[in-house]
């Protein structure tokens, strides 16, 4: 016992060794963060190249109108086989008809994404007819223009459509992507639904809660797939401007129109596909507002409220 005790390193040496390891880890972390920031700044001026989408199979949920419809049409033009999914069979069929006029491969599927069994059956049908799904676009949770100027829907419906449906879709689509060896999940979150510009702000609580939940879901899914070394990419898209039609543009007012103006759904879809094809993990439409949102997060909450009151758009930075 005396000999064994004599060859043990002193406690001081162990503490010095531990401090050296900690210092090395901190230096490595600091260098890694600096490199990441420099690469991000460089990519602002020189974005990564656009990847080809030929022979991909995309499932667009909410393809009957708005951004979902435009995404489906533009994906068809890029050589993607598109499964248009919507609860409204007529509007979904109209999207498919327009896509076929553009010589795209596109099929219509009526589906209520609030039902787990219905989602599973629809995904199996898409897989049998078009192949393994390699791209998923969830657009049906975005508030419509009317939802921003009328009373919000029932709480359960809002959460089922905007949040719970993601889990049913992921349960069925992720195995397809793993079997194909690749995948891209695009989750849209509407900042326009995070707060209300009218006096009765309480009616927008379900919309706000749903949109925040979607953002948390995207970040959690990204971390899980990253740790599992999966070749599946997750893109979270913050839609900042109000995507409105001419019939409701008069109902939404802006204190600074040039800052938070309207944008056609076709242009929003183009910007979304641009970010997806560059494999961005998180971006916004328009793009510059994402960086502003990150900066505003470090400000006191009261300062954030003051800025929102100045803009008077009913939009919170999340």
Q: Distance (Å, rounded) from C-alpha 133 to C-alpha 292?
A: 35
pTM of the model: 0.79
Is there a contact between 140 and 161 (Cβ–Cβ < 8 Å)?
A: yes
Q: For residue 137, what pLDDT is reported?
A: 95
* Cα dihedral value 85, 87, 90, 96, nearest 10: 0
Q: Is the pLDDT of residue 245 over 70?
A: no
The mean pLDDT of the chain is 80
Domains contained in the chain, CATH given: 54-317 (3.40.50.720)
Query: Distance between CA atoms of 244 and 5, rounded to whole angstroms?
Result: 78
Q: 């007012």: which residue's tokens?
A: 253
Determine contact, residues 233/180, Cβ cutoff 8 Å.
no
Query: Which of 20-24, 130-134, 215-219, 307-311 shows the lowest per-residue confidence on average (mean pLDDT)?
Result: 307-311
Q: Does position 149 have pLDDT exceeding 70, yes or no?
A: no
Supply the pLDDT for residue 314: 45
C-alpha triplet 255, 259, 238: angle, nearest 5°:
115
The kind and range of the H/E element at 167 are: helix 165-180
Q: Tell me the three state secondary structure of residue 115.
A: coil
> What is the mean pLDDT of the segment spanning 224-230?
82
Higher pLDDT, 241 or 161: 161
Cα 70 to chain centroid, rounded: 16
Residue 252 in this model has a pLDDT that exceeds 70 = no
pLDDT (0 to 100) of residue 260: 56
Instruction: Report the distance separating Cα 262 and Cα 279, nearest Å.
Output: 26
- Check residues 153 and 315 and name the one with the higher pLDDT: 153
Q: In terms of pLDDT, which residue wins out, 292 or 254?
A: 292
């Amino acid at each position: 016992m005396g000999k064994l005790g004599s060859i043990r390193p002193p406690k001081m040496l162990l503490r010095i060794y531990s401090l050296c390891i900690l210092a090395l880890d901190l230096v490595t972390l600091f260098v890694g963060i600096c490199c990441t920031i420099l690469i991000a700044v460089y990519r602002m001026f020189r974005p990564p190249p656009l990847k080809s989408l030929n022979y991909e199979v995309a499932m667009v949920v909410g393809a009957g109108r708005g951004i979902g419809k435009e995404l489906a049409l533009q994906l068809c033009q890029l050589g993607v086989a598109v499964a248009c999914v919507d609860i409204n069979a007529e509007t979904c069929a109209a999207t498919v008809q327009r896509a076929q006029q553009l010589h795209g491969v596109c099929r219509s599927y009526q589906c209520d994404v609030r039902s787990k069994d219905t989602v599973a059956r629809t995904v199996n049908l898409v897989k049998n007819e078009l192949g393994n799904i390699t791209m998923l676009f969830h657009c049906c949770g975005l508030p419509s223009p009317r939802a921003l100027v009328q009373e919000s829907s029932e709480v359960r419906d809002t959460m089922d459509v905007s949040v719970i449906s993601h889990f049913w879709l992921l349960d069925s689509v992720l195995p397809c992507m793993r079997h194909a060896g690749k995948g891209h999940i695009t989750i849209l979150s509407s900042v326009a639904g995070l707060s209300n510009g009218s006096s009765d702000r309480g009616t927008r609580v379900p919309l706000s809660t749903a949109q925040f939940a979607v953002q948390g879901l995207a970040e959690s899914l990204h971390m899980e797939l990253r740790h599992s070394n999966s070749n599946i990419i997750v893109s979270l898209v913050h839609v900042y401007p109000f995507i409105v039609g001419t019939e409701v543009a008069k109902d939404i007012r802006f204190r600074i129109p040039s800052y938070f103006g309207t944008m056609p759904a076709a242009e929003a879809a183009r910007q979304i596909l641009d970010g997806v094809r560059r494999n961005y993990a998180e971006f916004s439409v328009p793009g510059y507002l994402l960086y502003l949102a990150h900066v505003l997060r470090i400000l006191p909450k009261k300062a954030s409220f003051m800025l929102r009151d100045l803009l008077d758009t009913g939009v919170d930075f999340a």
